[in-house]
A and B are shown apart, each in its own frame.
Chain A
Amino acid sequence: MIKQERMKVVRHKQIADDIFELTLIGQLSLEMKQPGQFVHIRVSDSFEPLLRRPISICSIDPEHMEFTMLYRAGGRGTKILSLKQPGDEVDVLGPLGNGFPVEEAETGETALLVGGGIGVPPLYELSKQLNAKGVRTIHVLGFQSINNVFYEKQFSELGDTYIVTADGSYGSKGFVTDLLAQLNPEFNVFYSCGPIPMLKALEQAFPDKKGFLSFEERMGCGIGACYACVCETTDAVAKDYLKICSDGPVFPRGVVAL
């Protein structure tokens, strides 16, 4: 269930350009079950900045009551967050939203995990859980350039891992879909998180495959009450809008109008 807790910073370090790895400890981590869920973080006890920041859960460690987030310190709020030191406390609300359905991949099957930039982190816990149930995973991860690449080693330990950079400074050059066209991988289900053009290209590239996409949007409350983070659906008759924070952030392919 959703809880609010002041969690303590255990570890915090920069792992790539603007990318930070933050591990928090507290009871709330015991509530985390599904990969792809997120937390809503208050980065300051003042009202500057005012709103919480949604950040995806990268890794859950219930044994130690810890969880890890990877985030990009790009804006005002996340830059403040990046200054937190071990021992500091952070106000966390979570876990929020509906994550990736691990049950959609059967034991013995292969799952394709495709991430772009800061969409990569939630795929890590997903891959861990898929591997734990005997699903083979293939990871295709896209970044801007060599300085933005992170978690290659961690993903490689779980399955075949391919890196692509937009400027070709590391791995293949281009977009994840360029690489996927070359690889032509055999798989049963795909899971993805990243920029909308990437998600759209994936849907088009694999028209017959089962797939699940994770979205992001500016949020107010993070729990479905404010109607700020809506997305349009492909089926306008059924429901005009879905809320990314509480109906998503993960939706089956074909549900959200891209």
Chain B
Amino acid sequence: MNRLQVDLPGLTLKNPIIPASGCFGFGQEYAKLYDLSKLGAIMIKATTLETRKGNPTPRVAETSSGMLNAIGLQNPGLAHVMEYELPWLEQYDVPIIANVAGTETADYVAVAEKISTAPNVKALELNISCPNVKCGGIQFGTDAKTASELTAAVKAVSNVPVYVKLSPNVTNIGEIAKAVEAGGADGLTMINTLIGMRLNPITGKPVIANGTGGLSGPAVKPVAIRMVYDVSQQVKIPIIGMGGITNAEDVIDFLSAGASAVAVGTANFVDPFVCPNIIDALPHKLDELACEKLTDIMGRSHR
């Protein structure tokens, strides 16, 4: 019996550890360090219809136990991802969750329709929450009606289950979660980064060229836990939780709060081996908690 196995719509995960989109490129860099087949799944970098150049530099700034980023969805575009990145990933026994981004509904639909035909893409992650682009990101995720309609439009063309990535930068995240569930979402991923800013103490100007950036890292974990805790009680679809996960204890926290799997983001930069290290540590953590399998932990905060 695999104590770490988790089953989600479209995804049978040998463990619940998934590198988060935007923090893992298309896997090639980390493949030089360890066997990607070890991972539960991989959320590849956001893919848009056309090549996207991204924002000017500086694109990152360190904050207290966190970092701000404004990469701006730089990616080589759908055709390149279909032709090179996804086929290259086929050598690994790992399901791919393709993060789909766009400027307007038609873009999202076009990317989703095509990318969901790739044999190793087992689910889509609909990116309606990127805070770092002028159009085609967060504005889709902050209005319940828009979010629901986009979800429905993508669901209609996708060959695989659709997970919607929620923004924490809203007044009521539960409302958006219920709206995308009503729109047909198979699951949620949450949370994306929190909009933040850091100023240069000498000049008084923002450090990041974009002005604002998305805050991630251990600093955001309490916010993410609260949101997973709240939303998991308001929807029936599963949640892949993320936000400041750095070790096995953090994973247990997210599963306890109501997540069914987790994504690890910024911690990959701190320690590139963090994902395999967490996977190795999880059985010991289960032993400590006198639990047979990970699924026993899920949602225990609500019981």
CB of B59 within 8 A of CB of A225, answer no
- Chain A residues whose CB sits within 8 angstroms of the CB of B202 once the complex forms: none
Which residues on the B side are within 8 Å of A224 (C-beta)?
Answer: 25, 28-29
- Residues B57 and A218 in contact, CB atoms below 8 Å apart: yes
**Is A230 interfacial (CB 8 A cutoff)?**
yes
Q: Given A48-B65, A50-B218, A241-B53, answer yes or no on A225-B271 (Cβ-Cβ < 8 Å).
A: no
- Check A227/B57 contact, CB under 8 A, given A50-B270, A220-B67: no
A219 CA / B24 CA spacing, docked (Å): 14
A230 to B76, CA, bound (A): 14
Bound form: Cα–Cα A240–B52 in Å: 9
* Residues 162-187 of chain B, each 1 if its beta carbon lies under 8 Å from chain A, else 0: 00000000000000000000000000
Shortest CB-to-CB span from A231 to chain B, Å, is 7
B272–A221 touching, CB < 8 Å = yes
User: Do A42 and B270 have beta carbons less than 8 Å apart?
Assistant: yes
- Closest A residue to B19 using CB positions: A225
Q: Check B58 against A47 for contact (C-beta < 8 Å).
A: no
Bound complex: CA of A51 vs CA of B153, how far in Å? 39
B269 at the interface (CB under 8 A from A): yes
The reply on A131 being an interface residue by CB < 8 A is: no
* B interface bracket (residues with beta carbon within 8 Å of A): 35 or more
B32-A2 in contact (CB<8A):
yes
Q: Is B256 an interface residue (CB 8 A)?
A: no
Contact for A47 among B22, B53, B65, B71, CB less than 8 A: B65
Determine the chain A residues whose CB is within 8 A of the CB of B71 once the complex forms: 226-228
Asked if A223 is an interface residue, CB under 8 A from chain B, the answer is yes
Task: Please measure, in the bound complex, the distance between the C-alpha atom of A225 and the C-alpha atom of B63, giving whole angstroms.
Answer: 20
What 1/0 mask marks residues of chain B from 63 to 80 whose CB sits below 8 Å from any chain A CB?
Answer: 111110101001000000
Q: How long is the Cα–Cα vector from A227 to B272 in the complex, in angstroms?
A: 15
Say whether B62 contacts A49, CB under 8 Å: yes
Residue pair A240, B61 in contact (C-beta under 8 Å)? no
Report the bound CA distance from A218 to B173 in whole Å.
33
B272 interface neighbour in A93, A217, A229, A246, Cβ under 8 Å: A93
Tell me the chain A residues, 106-132 only, with Cβ under 8 Å from chain B.
none
Taking the closest CB of chain A, its distance from the CB of B147, in whole angstroms, is: 26
Is A253 at the interface (CB under 8 A from chain B)?
no
Annotate A189-233 by CB proximity to B: 1 below 8 A, 0 otherwise: 000000000000000000000000000011111111111111100
Shortest CB–CB separation between residue A195 and chain B, in angstroms? 15
Query: B29 touching A229 by the CB < 8 A rule?
Result: no
Do most interface residues of chain B lie in helix, strand or loop, or is the interface mixed? loop
CA distance A21 to B249 in the complex (A): 37
In the bound complex, how far is the Cα of B66 from the Cα of A206, in angstroms? 43
The A interface is mostly helix, strand or loop, or mixed, namely loop
Nearest Cβ distance between residue A134 and chain B, in whole angstroms? 34
Q: A4 to B268: give the CA distance in the assembly, Å.
A: 13
B53 touches A227 (CB 8 A): no
Tell me the complex Cα distance, A221–B20, Å. 13
Cα separation A91 to B270 with both chains bound (whole Å): 10
Cα-based distance from A2 to B24 in the complex (angstroms)? 16
**Does B87 count as interface, using CB distance less than 8 angstroms?**
no
Taking the closest CB of chain B, its distance from the CB of A90, in whole angstroms, is: 14
A4 contacts across to B, CB distance below 8 A: 33, 271-273
How far is A71 from B49 in the complex, measured between Cα atoms in Å?
A: 43
Q: How far is the CA of A1 from the CA of B32 in the complex (A)?
A: 8
Are B270 and A51 touching (Cβ within 8 A)?
yes
CA distance A29 to B62 in the complex (A): 28
User: Does any Cβ of A come within 8 Å of B151's Cβ?
Assistant: no
Known: A218-B58, A246-B29. A42 touches B271 (CB 8 A): yes
Find residues 193-228 in chain B having any chain A CB closer than 8 Å to their own CB.
Answer: 217-218
Which A positions have Cβ atoms within 8 angstroms of B?
Answer: 1-2, 4, 42, 47-52, 91, 93, 217-231, 240-241, 246
Please report B residues at the A interface, Cβ cutoff 8 Å. Answer: 22-25, 28-30, 32-33, 45, 51, 53-54, 57-67, 69, 71, 74, 217-218, 246, 266, 268-273
Known interface pairs A222-B269, A230-B54; 16 further A-B residue pairs with C-beta atoms within 8 A, sorted by A's residue number: A42-B271, A47-B246, A47-B270, A49-B62, A50-B65, A50-B66, A51-B60, A217-B57, A217-B58, A218-B57, A218-B60, A220-B67, A223-B33, A226-B23, A226-B60, A241-B74
